[in-house]
Structure 1
Amino acid sequence: MACKLATLATLGALVLIAGAPSTVAQPLDLGAPDLVLVNGKVLTLDEQSSVTEAIAVRDGRILATGTSASIRSLAGARTQVLDVSGKTVVPGLIDTHAHFKAAGLADYVVNMSRAKTVADALEAIKTFAVKKKPGEWIVGGAWHPPSQLAEKRYLTRQEIDSVAPDNPVYLRTVGHFSMANTKALEIVGVDKTTADPSGGSFERDSTGDLTGVLVETAIDRVEKAVPPWTEEDEIRQFMIAEGALNSFGITSAVEGATEARDVRILQKIAASGKATLRTGLMFRPEPPADLSSWEAVMSGNGASSGFGDDWVRFAGIKIFYDGGMTLKTALMRDVYPDSHDNYHGVAQQTPERLTKLVSICNRFGWRVGVHVVGDLGIDQVLDAFEAVDKEKSIRDRRFVLIHASLIRPEQMERARKLGVRVDFQNVFMWDKAATVERFLGRPTADRAVPTKTLIATMGLDSLGAGTDFPVNPINPFLNMYIMVTRKDPKGSVYGSSEAISREQALRLYTSAASRYTFDEGRKGTIQSGKLADFAVLSADYLAVPEEQIKDIKTDITIVGGRVVFQR
Structure 2
Amino acid sequence: MILRLLACATALALALPAAAEPVLFTRMNGYTLDGSGTLQRFDALLVDEDGRVVATGGEAALRERAGGARIESMAGRTVLPGLTDAHGHLMGLGFALRQADLVGTRSLDEALERVRAFADARPGDGWIVGNGWNQVIWQLGRFPTASELDAVVADRPVWLERVDGHAGWANSAALKLAGIDRHTPDPVGGRIERDADGDPGGVLVDAAMGLVSAKIPPADAAEARAALESALVTLASLGLTSVHDAGIDADDWHLFRQMADADRLSLRIYAMVRDTGEDFDQIAANGPLLASGNDHLTVRSVKMWADGALGSRGAAMIEPYSDDPHNHGLLFRTPAELRNAVDKAFAQGFQVNIHAIGDAGVRQVLDAYSIAYKAHPEARGLRNRVEHSQIAALADIPRYLPLQLIASMQPTHATSDMNMAEDRVGPQRILGGYAWRRFLDQGTRIAGGSDFPVELPNPFFGLHAAVTRQDHENHPDGGWYADQRMTREEALRAFTLDAAWAAHQEARQGTLEPGKWADFIVIDRDYFSIPAEDIWKIGVLQTWVGGKQVFLR
* Fold shared per TM-score above 0.5: yes
What letter matches 2:510 in structure 1? G
Q: Give the aligned partner of residue 330 of structure 2.
A: 346
The answer to whether structure 1 residue 377 and structure 2 residue 361 are counterparts is yes
Secondary structure, aligned partner of 2:364: helix
Q: How does 1:391-410 map to 2 (within 5 A)?
A: 391-393=375-377, 394-410=379-395
Q: Where does residue 18 of structure 1 map in the other structure? A: none
Q: Please report how far the alpha carbon of residue 345 of structure 1 lies from its aligned counterpart in structure 2 after TM superposition.
A: 1.9
User: Secondary structure at the residue paired with 1:128?
Assistant: helix
Aligned mates of 1:106, 1:521 — CA distance in 2: 34
> For 1:65-464, what aligned pairs fall within 5 Å after superposition?
65-74=56-65, 79-105=69-95, 108-141=98-131, 143-173=132-162, 174-285=164-275, 297=281, 300-304=284-288, 306=290, 308=292, 310-341=295-326, 343-393=327-377, 394-445=379-430, 447-459=432-444, 462-464=445-447
Match of 1:536 in 2: 522
Mapped partners of 1:515, 1:235: distance in 2? 29
Separation in structure 1 between the aligned mates of residue 471 and residue 389 of structure 2, nearest angstrom: 20
- State which of 541, 545, 553 in structure 1 corresponds to 2:531: 545
Once the two structures are TM-superposed, the CA of residue 152 in structure 1 deviates from its matched residue by 5.0
Give 1:43's match in structure 2, choosing from 27, 31, 53: 31
Shift of 1:357: 1.3
Distance 1:356 1:437 in 2: 34
- Segments of structure 2 that go 5 or more residues without pairing to the other structure are 1-18
Give the total of aligned pairs: 526
The 8 Å contact of residues 61 and 529 in structure 1, kept in 2 or not, is answered as: yes
CA RMSD of aligned residues (A): 2.2
2:457 matched residue in structure 1: 474
1:166 partner letter: D
Matched residue type, 1:217:
A
> Retained in 2: the 8 A contact 1:33–1:56?
no
- TM-superposed CA distance for 1:423, in Å, is 0.4
Tell me the equivalent position of 1:560.
Answer: 546
State the alpha-carbon separation in 1 of the partners of residues 251 and 152 from structure 2.
Answer: 32
Q: Judge conservation of contact 1:178–1:219 (CA < 8 Å) in 2.
A: yes
Report if aligned partners of 2:472, 2:536 keep a CA contact under 8 Å in 1. Answer: no
Q: Contact 2:519–2:544 at 8 Å: present in 1 too?
A: yes
Shift of 1:80: 4.3
Q: Tell me, in whole angstroms, the C-alpha distance in 1 between the residues paired with 2:259 and 2:428.
A: 46
Distance in structure 2 (CA, Å) of the matches to 1:128 and 1:318: 33
Q: TM-score normalised to the size of structure 1?
A: 0.88
Amino acid at match of 2:353: G
What secondary structure sits across from 2:497 in the alignment? coil
- Amino acid across the alignment from 1:562: K
The Cα offsets for residues 308-335 of structure 1, whole Å up to 9 and x where unpaired, read as 4511111411111111223322222232
- For each residue in 1:44-87, what CA deviation from the matched residue of structure 2 results, as whole angstroms up to 9, or x when unmatched? 2113422111111121211222222333455566x543312222
Q: Relative to 1, partners in 2 of residues 1:251 and 1:186: Cα closer, same or farther, differing over 3 Å?
A: same
CA distance in 1, matches of 2:40, 2:65: 21
| Residues 1:67 and 1:32: Cα distance change in structure 2 (over 3 Å) | farther
Counterpart of 2:28 in structure 1: which amino acid?
A: G
SS at match of 1:50: strand
Give the greater-gyration-radius structure (CA). 1
Once the two structures are superposed, residues 169-206 of structure 1 have per-residue CA deviations (whole angstroms, 9 ceiling, x without a partner) of 11112221111112212222222221221111221100
CA contact (8 A) 2:180 2:200 kept: no
Paired position in structure 2 for 1:523: 509
Where relative contact order (Cα < 8 A, 6+ residues apart) is larger, the structure is 2
Superposed CA deviations along residues 318-355 of structure 1, whole A, max 9, x for unmatched, are 111111223322222232223343x3221111112111
**Which residue in 2 is equivalent to 1:28?**
none
